[in-house]
Amino acid sequence: MTAPAPLHDDWTLRIDDLWRRAPDLTGSQLVDEVDALAAERPDGDARALFERACARDTAGLEAEAEQLYRAALETGRLDPYRRTRAVIQLGSTLRWLKRLDESEALLVGELAHHMQPGHDRPLHDEARAILALTYAAQGRGNEAAGLALAVLAPRLSRYNRSTLACAKQLAGEVWDDGAVVAPGTPSVELIEGRFVLRPYRPADLPDFVAAVRESHASIGRWMKWAHAAFSVAEGAEWLDHCARGWQSGTSYEFGIFDRETGEFVGGGGLNSLHAVHPFCNLGYWVRSSWQGQGAASSAVRALSRHAFRKLQLMRVEIVVADGNEPSLAVARKSGAHYEGLLRNRIRGVDGKPWDAHLFSMVPT
């Protein structure tokens, strides 16, 4: 079978930009603009079919969306993330078309597929949530509630196990083996070009540790924690710190992953949120084997959007050590405004105060 087309070409970036503008378009305008972009692709192109289906879904043209979702899936050339999206959205479309048994069968099949060994389960909770809606439409309220509770249970601060046990009593099968989402881990994904940013999961630990060890010579010059002997225990402590930050709302750390392969690329986050004024710091790092491929600047764009749109912050700062030319280039490329060189702004890896450059971004 031919491999899926790459996800980071100019066409995909233009599609992503169109979807960012979608809330300001009418349904017919969205369909027309997506169709115009799709016409640039070869006949039967999986991505074009998928995007045309999404446009019609958004515009309320469910019958047309169904045929295009099916055509995209039948090509066998959607990447894993888009393939799962197509299945979930087709299941939702079938629900709107009142073909509830078909919707249920499609989503149950997808969830069963997710539970196979080695499957990374993209959008697993999203699939369960849409199936819960199908159950509700079928009049199966107990099963709908049970499945919804199963999705909610890992995110509670307490009573996780008892809530999940009650969910299983209501729904029977909830497709949860305790390994999909760690307690307290939010379901957030930021898409920018060829990269996806999401909160860390316990399963990311080996790749995270390997990336730090691989990159100690490049990023270790600027980040004290990135040393050659970086241990699994240190990695686990960092992931635990990130989870606590999400739970408390004091920091929002993301892993950066390749959308096509799922490979771990680096990290970025929003931290040092001011207690009074609505601003924070934005940081990023990229493993050595991925440097120079746009991951850091993509992360800056995605994280700043999240800061302004979701967190409602009014300012994001990027602080870069004097001499760290790669990070300075990222800040400039991302469109951040340069505000100057600050004396003794940060503590360096040698424990001494270092000068640092300050950049800022604001919603406008």
Q: Is the pLDDT of residue 86 over 90?
A: yes
Terminal Cα-to-Cα distance of the chain (whole angstroms): 46
pLDDT of residue 240: 83
Cα–Cα distance list, 26 to 32, 58, 116, 356 (Å): 10, 10, 41, 46
**Band of residue 178 on the pLDDT scale cut at 50, 70, 90:** low
> Which residue did the predictor score with more confidence, 253 or 6?
253
Distance CA 346, CA 207 (A): 29
CA nearest to 91, candidates 133, 119, 56:
133
H or E segment to which residue 256 belongs = strand 252-258
**Is the CB of residue 110 less than 8 Å from the CB of residue 122?**
no
Q: Map residue 284 onto helix, strand or coil.
A: strand
pLDDT of residue 246: 87
Distance CA 121, CA 201 (A): 12
CA nearest to 349, candidates 221, 200, 171:
221
Q: Is the pLDDT of residue 2 over 70?
A: no
Give pLDDT tens digits for 25-56: 999 999 999 999 999 999 999 999 999 999 99
Distance CA 4, CA 1 (A): 9
Please give the average per-residue pLDDT across 194-205, as a whole number: 90
Q: What letter represents residue 13's amino acid?
A: L
pLDDT of residue 9: 67
Give pLDDT tens digits for 272-292: 988 788 999 999 999 999 999
Percent of the chain at pLDDT exceeding 70: 93
Residue entry with tokens 């881990």: 185
CA nearest to 96, candidates 142, 63, 64:
63
Distance CA 40, CA 117 (A): 38
Give pLDDT tens digits for 261-274: 889 999 999 999 88
pLDDT of residue 180: 41
Phi-psi region of 121 (alpha: psi -120 to 50; beta: other; left: phi over 0): left
Please give the average per-residue pLDDT across 326-337, as a whole number: 94
pLDDT of residue 4: 43
**Band of residue 114 on the pLDDT scale cut at 50, 70, 90:** confident
Q: What is the pTM of this model?
A: 0.55
In this structure, what token pair is assigned to residue 326?
């790669």
